[in-house]
Amino acid sequence: MGDHTYRATIAWEGSTGGGYTAYPRDHEGAVPPATESFALSADPHFRGDATRANPEQLLVLAASSCQMLSFLHVAATAELDVLDYTDDAEGIMPKGEQPMRITRITLRPRVLVAAGSDVARFEELMHEAHESCFIANSLNTDVVVEPTVEIAIKES
């Protein structure tokens, strides 16, 4: 089996001739072969548009999505019936850090499992998912997982 290759395309138009404060930060991104493009900009702190996603948010989103997909895989393999998975992830980029970088990503998955589920191995499965998450393994920042599990109420 060969290498896995991932593509991303960016398109921007404007002029930087007017200096740092004058050029637009808005641009379009796509991830072929997906056909939908999405609106991007810079973080508002760097003169971007807050109504568009920025690269820092996409990095946090990638870590969150990868953790979820890894967890669903290990849960299914362990026969743990997951019904719902949400995350409220956060990335921190300290102002004084040089070079500027996101130093920590905290994932806060909330997992609902079917009534009658044995959650004794929940933490172990979440850790296994984290250890196998391709994105977390690709980053040199701390990726911390703080999960919560809930068991669904059995319907009578």
Q: Please give the full DSSP string across 109-149, using - where no structure is assigned.
A: EEEEE-TT---TTHHHHHHHHHHT-HHHHH-SSEEEE--EE
CA 52 to CA 29: how far, in whole Å?
11
- In Å, how far from its chain's centre is CA 82? 19
d(CA 51, CA 41): 8
pTM of the model: 0.89
Mean pLDDT score of the chain, rounded to an integer?
Answer: 93
Q: Are residues 69 and 95 in the same domain?
A: yes
Is there a single domain that holds both residue 111 and residue 130?
yes
Residue 21 lies in a domain: yes
In a domain, 59, yes or no: yes
For the cut 80, the answer to whether the pLDDT of residue 115 exceeds it is yes
What pLDDT score does 107 carry? 96
Looking at the structure, tell me whether residues 42 and 91 fall in a common domain: no
Q: In terms of residue numbers, what domain contains 27? A: 9-46
Residues 41 and 67 in one domain: no
Q: Are 42 and 68 members of one domain?
A: no
Q: Are residues 109 and 135 in the same domain?
A: yes
Same-domain check for residues 95 and 62: yes
Which run of H or of E encompasses 107? strand 104-107
Helix (H) or strand (E) holding 40: strand 37-40
Residue 99, domain member (yes or no): yes
**Number of domains into which the chain is organized:** 2
- For residue 63, pLDDT over 90 is answered with yes
In the block, which residue shows the tokens 């044995």?
118
Q: What is the CATH number of the domain that holds 140?
A: 3.30.300.20
CA separation for the pair 59, 61 (Å, rounded): 5
For 120-156, the pLDDT digits (tens) are 999 999 999 999 999 999 999 999 999 999 999 987 7
Query: How confident is residue 114, by pLDDT bands cut at 50, 70 and 90?
Result: very high
Same domain? For 141 and 66 the reply is yes
Confidence of residue 101 (pLDDT cuts 50, 70, 90): very high
Domain identity same for 108 and 39: no
